[in-house]
A and B are shown apart, each in its own frame.
Chain A
Amino acid sequence: MSTAAKTSAHPNSPPPGVVVPESREESASVLVRRWRKFKSMKRGWYSFLILLSLYALSLLNPLLINQRALIVSHQGELRFPAVTEWFTDRLYAAKDLGQRAIGECNYRKLKEQYDAAGGDDWVLLAPYPFGPNESLMEELEGRPPHPPQQGHWLGTDDRGRDVFARLAYGFRISISFALLVVFLDYLIGVAAGATLGFFGGRVDFYGQRLVEIWAAIPFLYTVIIIESTLKPGLFMLAVLLALFGWVGISYYMRGEFYREKAKDYVAAAIAQGESRMSIMFTHILPNSLTPIISFAPFAIVGSITALVSLDFLGFGLQPPTPSWGELVNQGKQNIQDWHLVTFPLAALFATLMLVVFIGEAVREAFDPKTYSRLR
């Protein structure tokens, strides 16, 4: 690959802190070598591990942060309210579990009740027994938003919902959303860039003009206008953002395809009589992955920021979806409640920072630029 050649062309200046095990395992593929190099960059690698485990943990949010109990043993019968609600949306009524109340059971009170009764019934609450969309107005003193306090270290929002629970669920949504947007971006961007770069000529000329037109659309304002009228759900919003986000990656892909298609292996594939689709996607694409991979973390940063910004403006996901931007918006309206702005932005900042660290390491591993200072 061209980048590998570039690195070895400057033997005097190896990137700092990088151990290249080339002498030991000469046969390792380019991707494997780059993966090892990525792992050797501690800041990026640990950021990657932290983010990955946080995201994996957040996928289990319903078992960790939930007002519904994990297990309820009532009159010798076991029930699993959190799991039931997670997979089937079914809720347990208070009276079915022996609680004197109307509507859904309050499991924290149920636990107190069972403990006080001292019978065989018991409740296993979630580790953090408050939900993201559950109003705690009746249990807490004063008017919402409640400041940080014992049991609710990050306070509650203006509807009395626990901020930590909303942040944790918002993290899961933000990351999932960003991954979805980037995937769709790539789907469109790679297809468009590959087509323009591979066919070239007139296809490229007119295609590029169309891409330029598309890129000149005022993205944020147009999305707001469409949002305000269509009120899309999570998937449609992702599609909408992807429709405006693919242009950057298509430029990279177009360049890569232009470069790669002139190489001998492509000529060999053509001589073998392979179809264009096969040449484009099984021969050229695997050799053009460098920009795709090194661009991805920054695309994720962009998508997370876009979602939080839209939520902040009130044109993001539909309420009551837990969202960081919506919390900041509340904080802007209640500026004496510093916790509504500080904690979501700290979460946003920490997440973006981790992704940026990963991105720096990935770029260093996949697309190293070695600058040699003359003199």
Chain B
Amino acid sequence: MGAYFARRFLLMIPTFLGITFMVFLITRFVPGGPIEQMVLQLEQGGGKGGETGAAATAGAAQNTGRGSRIPPEVMAELNKKFGFDKPVPVAYAHWLWDVVRLDLGKSYKYDTPVIDLVTARFPVSIYFGLIGFTLAYLVCIPLGVMKAIHHGSAFDLVSSVVVFVGYSIPGWALGTLLLVYFGGGSFWNLIPLGGFRSPGWEQMDWWNKITDQVHHTIAPVICFAIGSFATLTVLMKNSLMENLGQDYVRTAFAKGLPEKRVIFVHALRNSLIPVCTGLGHAIGIIMAGSYLIEFTFNINGLGLLGYNSVIERDYAVVMGVLVINTLLVLVGNMLSDVLYVVVDPRIRFS
């Protein structure tokens, strides 16, 4: 088993390299990259202090015609700053070496190290994602069990409708509906328009701090939870139904155990296996959801940071968020594999 996990772990490396290299290539060859952004800024005379400010004045002095407004030496300097003077593999190797030392470069919009930006936003995303996911598990597992036990009953049919509805509404779509109807537009004013906390949260007393946080948490968390609500419920139900048809359940009944014990102790334990192993993949799902839901609710988490950096073409941040996202997905997949072995003693990897 140790060898299996060692191999799984080693497999993460080419995966990581493949993904980052692909995106690195894209960010290098597209129009509107960091250099063009810089040049545009210089031409508008809007340099941002220090080195670039000097470059801007130099650029303005040379600003004679419509053709090459930026002097070649400034251009070369810019190219060097962003590593565009080296061939792609070398530049990628440099970037990778920096990443290994946890240096993700510097955001040219915020002028702060990317790693600081990412670590500041990361807890926000995880906060919403984890609460949402816990909520989903707390609702879906009992619901799936009830549906399986009362398969074909009125309760099963009615809850199936709810599941269908949940499956047909993406989380962010529910979010916009909540905002329009409960966010103080033309209807009720029950939830804030978004954000992680109210401005001035630091100055509140502890009771207001808590209520304000809860107030901002409810709507996004519901949206996170609905994303996995339908699939998780159906998975739980089918898994338990399958187990209820197994021979060991027949044996348990035959030896005279009460129905409750057979279902909740024997069958349920086995049917939780596929649900548990999904926990690892949850990390990837949380991340994917965070782009849409943080955008919807304007929450300053990792997803919104990534989104804004794409819009602003802040490529150091784009790559930084991608690195973190990829690592999280890989670790999550690995975790799922570990859970498989831990939860299900029948599985032996060799």
Mark out the residues of chain B between 186 and 207 whose CB falls within 8 Å of any chain A CB in the assembled complex. Answer: 186-187, 193
* Nearest Cβ on chain A to B93's Cβ, whole angstroms: 20
Q: Given the known A-B contacts A219-B288, A353-B164, A375-B253, are A313 and B326 also in contact in the complex, defined by CB atoms under 8 Å?
A: no
Interface residue total, chain B, C-beta cutoff 8 A: 64
Which residues from chain A contact B11 at a C-beta distance below 8 Å? 209, 212-213
Interface residue? B47 (CB, 8 A): no
Q: Which of A218, A224, A228, A309 contacts B284 (CB 8 A)?
A: A218
* Nearest Cβ on chain A to B213's Cβ, whole angstroms: 22
Q: How far is B173's CA from A371's CA once the two chains are assembled, in angstroms? A: 35
- A-contact bits for B242-253, CB 8 A (1 contact / 0 none): 101110011001
Report whether B18 and A225 are in contact in the complex, using a CB–CB cutoff of 8 Å: no
Q: Given the known A-B contacts A216-B329, A356-B167, are A229 and B32 also in contact in the complex, defined by CB atoms under 8 Å?
A: yes
* Nearest Cβ on chain A to B190's Cβ, whole angstroms: 13
Q: Given the known A-B contacts A212-B15, A213-B15, A374-B249, are A218 and B32 also in contact in the complex, defined by CB atoms under 8 Å?
A: no
Which residues from chain A contact B310 at a C-beta distance below 8 Å? 224-225, 228
* Of A126-134, A149-157, A279-287, A338-346, the one with at least 4 CB within 8 A of chain B: A338-346
Q: How far is B170's CA from A352's CA once the two chains are assembled, in angstroms? A: 10
Report whether A225 and B27 are in contact in the complex, using a CB–CB cutoff of 8 Å: yes
Q: Given the known A-B contacts A220-B288, A338-B187, A356-B167, are A313 and B181 also in contact in the complex, defined by CB atoms under 8 Å?
A: no
Q: How far is B248's CA from A23's CA once the two chains are assembled, in angstroms? A: 36
Closest to B292 in A: A309
Interface residue? B222 (CB, 8 A): no
* Of A66-74, A138-146, A329-337, the one with at least 4 CB within 8 A of chain B: A329-337
Report whether B185 and A336 are in contact in the complex, using a CB–CB cutoff of 8 Å: yes
Interface residue? B169 (CB, 8 A): yes
Report whether A331 and B180 are in contact in the complex, using a CB–CB cutoff of 8 Å: yes
* Nearest Cβ on chain B to A44's Cβ, whole angstroms: 12
Closest to A314 in B: B311
Mark out the residues of chain B between 250 and 274 whose CB falls within 8 Å of any chain A CB in the assembled complex. Answer: 250, 253, 259, 262
Closest to B298 in A: A332
Q: Given the known A-B contacts A308-B170, A309-B170, are A218 and B186 also in contact in the complex, defined by CB atoms under 8 Å?
A: no
Q: How far is B15's CA from A216's CA once the two chains are assembled, in angstroms? A: 7
Report whether B173 and A348 are in contact in the complex, using a CB–CB cutoff of 8 Å: yes
Q: How far is B173's CA from A228's CA once the two chains are assembled, in angstroms? A: 22
Interface residue? A373 (CB, 8 A): yes
- Chain A interface size range: 35 or more
Report whether B14 and A213 are in contact in the complex, using a CB–CB cutoff of 8 Å: yes
Report whether B326 and A341 are in contact in the complex, using a CB–CB cutoff of 8 Å: no
**A209, A226, A228, A369 — which one has the most chain B CB atoms within 10 A of its CB?**
A228
Interface residue? B333 (CB, 8 A): yes
* Nearest Cβ on chain A to B336's Cβ, whole angstroms: 12
Which residues from chain B contact A2 at a C-beta distance below 8 Å? none
Which residues from chain B contact A212 at a C-beta distance below 8 Å? 11, 15
- B-contact bits for A342-361, CB 8 A (1 contact / 0 none): 10010011001100110000
Which residues from chain A contact B306 at a C-beta distance below 8 Å? 221, 224
Interface residue? A1 (CB, 8 A): no
Which residues from chain A contact B26 at a C-beta distance below 8 Å? 225-226, 229
Q: How far is B170's CA from A326's CA once the two chains are assembled, in angstroms? A: 15
Q: How far is B326's CA from A345's CA once the two chains are assembled, in angstroms? A: 31
Interface residue? A217 (CB, 8 A): yes
Q: Which of A216, A217, A338 contacts B186 (CB 8 A)?
A: A338
Interface residue? B122 (CB, 8 A): no
Mark out the residues of chain B between 8 and 57 whose CB falls within 8 Å of any chain A CB in the assembled complex. Answer: 11, 14-15, 18-19, 22-23, 26-27, 30-32
* Nearest Cβ on chain B to A97's Cβ, whole angstroms: 42
* Of B101-109, B125-133, B317-325, the one with at least 4 CB within 8 A of chain A: B317-325
Q: Which of B151, B165, B172, B262 contacts A309 (CB 8 A)?
A: B172
Which residues from chain B contact A226 at a C-beta distance below 8 Å? 26
Report whether A371 and B241 are in contact in the complex, using a CB–CB cutoff of 8 Å: yes
Interface residue? A27 (CB, 8 A): no
Interface residue? A230 (CB, 8 A): yes
Which residues from chain B contact A349 at a C-beta distance below 8 Å? 165, 168-169, 173
Interface residue? A328 (CB, 8 A): yes
Report whether B23 and A313 are in contact in the complex, using a CB–CB cutoff of 8 Å: no
Judged by DSSP, the binding face of A is helix
- B-contact bits for A209-241, CB 8 A (1 contact / 0 none): 100110011111110111011100000000000
* Nearest Cβ on chain B to A253's Cβ, whole angstroms: 21
Which residues from chain A contact B22 at a C-beta distance below 8 Å? 217, 222
Closest to B12 in A: A216
Interface residue? A372 (CB, 8 A): yes
Q: Given the known A-B contacts A224-B307, A309-B172, A335-B185, are A218 and B250 also in contact in the complex, defined by CB atoms under 8 Å?
A: no
Which residues from chain B contact A217 at a C-beta distance below 8 Å? 19, 22, 326
Q: Which of B167, B176, B193, B253 contacts A374 (CB 8 A)?
A: B253
Q: How far is B244's CA from A331's CA once the two chains are assembled, in angstroms? A: 47
Which residues from chain B contact A219 at a C-beta distance below 8 Å? 288
Q: How far is B19's CA from A329's CA once the two chains are assembled, in angstroms? A: 30
Which residues from chain B contact A225 at a C-beta distance below 8 Å? 23, 26-27, 310, 318, 322
Report whether B291 and A221 are in contact in the complex, using a CB–CB cutoff of 8 Å: yes
Q: How far is B273's CA from A225's CA once the two chains are assembled, in angstroms? A: 36
Which residues from chain A contact B176 at a C-beta distance below 8 Å? 328, 331-332, 341, 345
Report whether B321 and A352 are in contact in the complex, using a CB–CB cutoff of 8 Å: no
Q: Which of B30, B186, B291 contacts A230 (CB 8 A)?
A: B30
* Nearest Cβ on chain B to A149's Cβ, whole angstroms: 15
- B-contact bits for A7-51, CB 8 A (1 contact / 0 none): 000000000100000000000000000000000000000000000
Q: How far is B186's CA from A356's CA once the two chains are assembled, in angstroms? A: 32
Interface residue? A295 (CB, 8 A): no
Report whether A216 and B326 are in contact in the complex, using a CB–CB cutoff of 8 Å: yes
Interface residue? A312 (CB, 8 A): yes
Closest to A209 in B: B11
* Nearest Cβ on chain B to A9's Cβ, whole angstroms: 12
**A337, A342, A352 — which one has the most chain B CB atoms within 10 A of its CB?**
A352
Interface residue? B83 (CB, 8 A): no
Interface residue? A305 (CB, 8 A): yes
Report whether A373 and B245 are in contact in the complex, using a CB–CB cutoff of 8 Å: yes
Query: Which A positions have Cβ atoms within 8 angstroms of B?
Result: 16, 209, 212-213, 216-222, 224-226, 228-230, 301, 305, 308-309, 312-313, 328, 331-332, 335-338, 341-342, 345, 348-349, 352-353, 356-357, 369, 371-375
The 5 closest A-B pairs by CB, nearest first: A229-B30, A335-B185, A352-B168, A336-B185, A213-B15
- What would be 21 A-B contacts, judged by CB atoms less than 8 Å apart? A16-B152, A216-B15, A218-B322, A219-B288, A221-B288, A222-B19, A225-B23, A301-B168, A313-B292, A331-B176, A332-B176, A335-B180, A341-B176, A345-B173, A349-B165, A352-B168, A353-B165, A356-B167, A356-B168, A357-B164, A375-B249
